[in-house]
Structure 1
Amino acid sequence: WYIVVILVFTAFILFIIKTNKKYILHAVILFAVVATMYYVLIAFMSVVPAIILTLALAALLYKFPEWYVIDVTGILVGAGASAIFGISFEVIPTIIFLILLTVYDIISVYKTKHMIALAEGVMELHVPILFVVPKRKDYSFVKQDFSAKKDDGEEEERGAFFMGLGDAVMPTILVVSANVFLPVAYPDLPLMFGSVVLPAFLAAVGTLIGYAVLMVVVMGGKPQAGLPFLNTGAILGYVAGCLIAGIPVIPAMPVV
């Protein structure tokens, strides 16, 4: 069902972009961002400060959506989304979910290319559903003209790399899921840093390695599907962690 929801929402975004009603999409995304930021902040503070900080970030995001504002709010939103899905999916459903999304990402970027059209349409809204990595220190996301063309009709080189927020969230779901459900199935599993099981830690490391490889490939200048690199890294890291920890890759179901 989650795949169906993703497909439906993708179709909705593409429809909004093609009908030039981006203000609707802008409002929907901002509402989702504000709600998720509040969800994250309420875990660390009381209600009133969480509301105040959420509204302050929302106002800053609306009035001054510079790349560092986008990235900071993106981290908060990504953390909240990863936590929500991670505590909802057990490990094996999560891995299956990541594999399906990886296949979808490959098709949507390299075959149908509708994900590229979606990304280009959403970037103009300056909302935190992507991460911005500037190529130079004086880069301004607000001043970036995404429709600018060279004299020969080709797009001008952009001053930053862009990665969809979902590319960061999806592999992190496996990290959260492994850290939540594996200790239930294997109570004696040793913890790293006092709270992280080895498979979850190596899933995070694998994600970072996948990201490093992705950045090398992106240097070629062409849009790349991120999930094949990131999800693969996370899954391989998880598998390696299970093997090193001496537990099955497919965790046992806890006895209730």
Structure 2
Amino acid sequence: MFEIKRKHLPAIAIICMLVITHMLALNIVHTYPQEYRAFGDDVDDPTNPLIYIGVILVFTAGMLMVFKYGKGEYLQYAILGVVGLTLFYVFYPVLFMVGHPIIEALQFDWAFFISILLAISLTYLLYKKPEWYVVNGIGIIMAAGIAGIFGMSLGILPVFILLIALAVYDFISVYKTKHMVSLASGVMKMKVPVMMVVPQKANYSFADKEGIEQELDEDKEREAMFIGLGDMIIPGILPVAATLHLPAMMVGGHYAPNLVALGSIAGAVIGMIALTRFVLKGKPHAGLPLLNSGAILGYILTYFVIYQNLSFGFVFPF
């Protein structure tokens, strides 16, 4: 019985990280300035997510080419730079809001410099000590921040389009072309927070690993569970969009958009539970089909119960 419980602890930890990431995104997004919106006020244009999808496809193709020609070390530095920049954009608005009275009194934007210091320090820590707890901690912060930016940049309909399209792409890339498995192995060697790592034992060293082949071999003992950072980010976009873009109203003393957001998170959790059952078997599985489906179904059900209409918050710009 003890072995069964220990076997499932990483799955439970991953589910907890998903909830923490999404709840953190819901709380910090309200500190973000309007300048963080990728498309300005045009959040309901259904073509906006196509731009994101195009960027993802180009970035994925570029990474595969880099790995093919053995230039992964250059990509590692580029990703570390992106990590540092993302951390700054996450920290700064939060620290600015918290310290705004002091900033006004001193006429000095200390939040800006502390955000830079935090971003550089954490990025350096990731580079020098890429253990699983460092990767996961930074990954959660990044995932929450990115989900927040996507959620405030896209209305409900564009988010639905994005989640459905990326679920289809994830299915194809894992089960058909299988290039996502190769990409995951290459990224793991760089020790950057593109994958979350949850070990079976606390003394597990992620820094010493050179690939995920053992974790995909059913004949070998699983040392850790891995899940892509995108699996944390993408389903979290919908609850953020819900809390920001749905009509404001109160239901039973609670803010209705927040209730729908929580329903979407609950759906994503159910999807993650289903996903971890497959992952525990040792074979690679596409996460977004289950996670996005859960988030969407949770959203639809909660929206219908609370708003009692079938518009689902869609705004058509034509």
The TM-score, its normalising length taken from structure 2, stands at 0.73
Which residue is 1:125 aligned to? Answer: 190
Q: 2:234 is matched with which residue: 170, 186, 193?
A: 170
Which residue is 2:86 aligned to? Answer: 36
User: Hey, what's the Cα distance between the residues in 1 that align with 2:218 and 2:83?
Assistant: 33
Q: 5 Å matches for 1:75-224?
A: 75-146=140-211, 157-182=221-246, 186-190=247-251, 197-224=258-285
Structure 1 range deviating more: 164-173 or 238-247: 238-247
CA apart distance, 1:197: 1.9
Determine what percentage of the aligned residue pairs are the same residue.
Answer: 43
SS at match of 2:191: coil
User: Hey, what's the Cα distance between the residues in 1 that align with 2:92 and 2:311?
Assistant: 34
Q: Deviations over 1:17-40 (max 9, x none)?
A: 010000121011111111111111
The yes-or-no answer on 1:250 pairing with 2:309 is: no
Q: Deviations over 1:159-197 (max 9, x none)?
A: 111100001100001111111100xxx222448876952
Q: 1:8 is matched with which residue: 58, 66, 72?
A: 58
Shift of the 197–190 alpha-carbon distance from structure 1 to 2, 3 Å rule, reads farther
Shift of the 34–155 alpha-carbon distance from structure 1 to 2, 3 Å rule, reads farther
Indicate conservation of the 8 Å contact 1:98/1:231, yes or no: yes
Q: Which one has the bigger helix percentage?
A: 2
Structure 1 range deviating more: 242-251 or 85-94: 242-251
Q: 5 Å matches for 1:58-77?
A: 58-77=123-142
Q: Deviations over 1:119-176 (max 9, x none)?
A: 0110000001111111222211012242777xxx999555111100001100001111
Which residue is 1:240 aligned to? Answer: 301
Shift of the 233–49 alpha-carbon distance from structure 1 to 2, 3 Å rule, reads same
Structure showing greater relative contact order (alpha-carbon pairs closer than 8 Å, 6 or more residues apart): 2
The aligned amino acid for 1:146 is G
The aligned amino acid for 1:103 is V
Indicate conservation of the 8 Å contact 1:174/1:234, yes or no: yes
Indicate conservation of the 8 Å contact 1:73/1:128, yes or no: yes
State how many pairs are aligned: 249
The aligned amino acid for 2:310 is P
SS at match of 2:201: coil
User: Hey, what's the Cα distance between the residues in 2 that align with 1:155 and 1:47?
Assistant: 51
User: Hey, what's the Cα distance between the residues in 2 that align with 1:10 and 1:192?
Assistant: 45
